[in-house]
Amino acid sequence: MNRFSYLNNLPVKQKLLLVIMATTLMGLVLASAAFLGYDRYQVKKNMAQDISALGRLIADRSAAALVFDDPRLAEKNLASLRVKSAIVAACIYGEDGAIFASYTADNISTEKFPAVSNTLGHAFTSNSLTLFEPVELEGKRIGTVYVRASLKELDTLWQQYLAAAGLTIFLTSLAVFFLSSRLQRIISEPLIHLTQTSQRISQQNDYSLRAIKEGEDELGLLVEAFNGMLETIEVQNKNLETTVATRTSELTAANIKLKELDTLKSMFIASMSHELRTPLNSIIGFTGMTLQGLSGELNDEQKDNLSRAYQSAKHLLSLITDVIDISKIEAGRIDTYPETVFLETVVSEAIIAIEPQLKEKHLSLDIEVPDGLQLNTDKKRLLQCLINLLSNGVKFTEEGGIRLTVTERDEAVAIAVADTGIGIAENDLPKLFEAFERLDTHLRVKVGGTGLGLYLTKKITTDLLRGEVSVQSKAGQGSIFTLTVPRDLQKLTET
């Protein structure tokens, strides 16, 4: 991880400025520190040399004073140290180590002279420089000169140097800041321009925009690569648009062709089915008449065979009728005939149609229709849907019964047909309204059917009655099919 990751969110401008300023400041501080350190070392060295030379001089001059025991001469010698303002005190020790003569810069003898040291030469303490210099005569040490110089002047000088260095660093930093805030633009401006261009591209989705190249450096190369990528995207987009346009027009053409074919198919089925219905009706008519004994007595076997033929013909007729209806609706060749009817009347007619099967299976019937409720709808089609739902209810119920309830909504009426039959498994519900879909249940073979009833009911409800059909069911717990139709179909077809 980047050690300076906390700086990641700073704008490039400020990062550059920070780098320049930090580097410059560090350089200035290090250079000043080195310079000041070296200077202090030199000044101290010179001072030590000066004081040592003076000490040596006093020692040479004071040999006679010591030999002749003349402290006044020694003090006079010491007094010549006054020329060096840094020297604050000095003394001469006799051979026995006692102070022979002394000197203080301000003549007030507050100085505490140290005991004579055997370590000769100079030494620095925190605030002064001390020197012990031997007084020798013919190679024999007859005394010692002690000199103490204050470092005060040195410290004052040092403080002035520090202040000057501080000021120099401050002024240089200001100048560097001023200069670098201008110079950083060389790097930051192309980057900012590149960022702004990419933002505009993503906001406006306009890949024709280009970044402007300022030079031939790495930033220039970056701009070039960026523009190159834009070029590629633009070309690809154009190709894609052309392909999409071509495909769309191909699809539209294919779609139109398919629709034409579909209409043709529906028209074909409708007219073929019509041709089939005529002979079928005559088969049903004649077998019905024969079954009733109008053409003479039939024996049991003949009756049984004929009634099978009669039932099959009726089944075929209902299948053909359904197919014709579906084809006509799909081809848009079916008209609606809205009329105002009492819902009770439509429901009663539907009940009459399913009553024989209801009685045969000993199922109960419960009806709840508000009195005098009128609807403007296509009566024939509504009746067809109701009969489909009711007869399914009867077909798929072994025990219990059917319950039909009507609920009034704002602009619509909901007719629910509930049964206590076998119900429908949850995963079968989505395919329930598809054509020729018959669910795999134990009643499948027994009750027969085409798998077109619900498909047709849905088509009629949505396409002709402008309503909808829904189902609620659970396997083994009965089903509720709900038809919701508008109160006023006429009004809806006019708008």
Contact residues: ligand ADP, CB under 6 A: 392-393, 396, 419, 421-422, 424, 432, 437-439, 441, 449-455, 479
Give CA separation, 8 vs 3, 11, 15, 353, 415, in Å.
Answer: 10, 8, 9, 81, 67
Cα separation, 111 vs 463, in Å, equals 123
Instruction: Give the residue with the Cβ less far from ligand ADP, 88 or 386.
Output: 386
Nearer to ligand ADP, 50 or 437 (CB): 437
Shortest spacing between CB 441 and ligand ADP, in angstroms: 6
Question: Taking a C-beta distance cutoff of 8 angstroms, is the pair 344, 369 a contact?
Answer: yes
Q: Given the complex with ligand ADP, which of 383 and 424 has the nearer CB atom?
A: 424
CB of 252 vs ligand ADP, minimal distance in Å: 33
d(CA 95, CA 62): 12
* Shortest reach from residue 300's CB to ligand ADP, in Å: 30
- For ligand ADP, the closer of residues 75 and 437 by Cβ is 437
**Smallest distance from ligand ADP to CB 311, Å:** 15
- In the complex, the smallest distance separating the C-beta of residue 422 from ligand ADP, rounded to whole angstroms, is 5
> CB of 439: closest distance to ligand ADP in angstroms?
3
- Which CB atom, from 36 or from 432, has the smaller least distance to ligand ADP? 432
**Residue found under tokens 């039939």:** 298
We find the least distance from the C-beta atom of residue 391 to ligand ADP, in angstroms, to be 8
> 459 or 466: whose CB is closer to ligand ADP?
459
Residues 6+ apart with CB under 8 A from 380: 337
Q: Residue 189 or residue 437: which is nearer to ligand ADP going by CB? A: 437
Smallest gap, in angstroms, from Cβ of residue 472 to ligand ADP? 11
Q: Which is nearer to ligand ADP, 99 or 425 (CB)?
A: 425
Angstrom distance (rounded) from CA 406 to CA 420: 18
Between 146 and 455, whose beta carbon lies closer to ligand ADP?
455
Tell me how far, at minimum, the Cβ of 389 lies from ligand ADP, in Å: 7
